Amino acid sequence: MNIALWIVQGLAALGFVYSGWLKAFQYEKAKASWGWVKDVPKTFVAFIGVAELVGAFGLILPQAMNSAPILTPIAATGLATVVLLGALFHVARKEYRDIGVNIVFFVLTAFIVIGRF
């Protein structure tokens, strides 16, 4: 089970680093990639990006360094909340094709939460 959790943590962290980096530091590329970015204030998009980056590091570092490993499932809970709210945002905007990514990352983070708590 520990190996499966590490694999999922790594995959989720990579996804959140990619997504967070675009949102936080490459706004124009994020705007070209995701239609919703045009309709949300730039500072809010950057805030989401930074939250995803911090959460991604929280999925790996506390557990890997065995320093406050309780922070890993807490980070996963925060990221699960972010993607759940993102899915609700897409539903409200009737962007149903975009919800699939949110569901995948919600399942990954929920698995981490359950496995690490």
Helix (H) or strand (E) holding 79: helix 71-92
Whether this prediction's pTM lies above 0.75 is answered by yes
The C-alpha atoms of residue 96 and residue 117 are separated, in whole angstroms, by 31
Mean pLDDT for back-to-back runs of 10 residues, the chain (117 residues): 96 98 96 92 96 98 95 98 96 92 97 97
Residue with tokens 């675009």, as numbered in its chain: 22
> According to the model, what pLDDT value does residue 73 have?
97
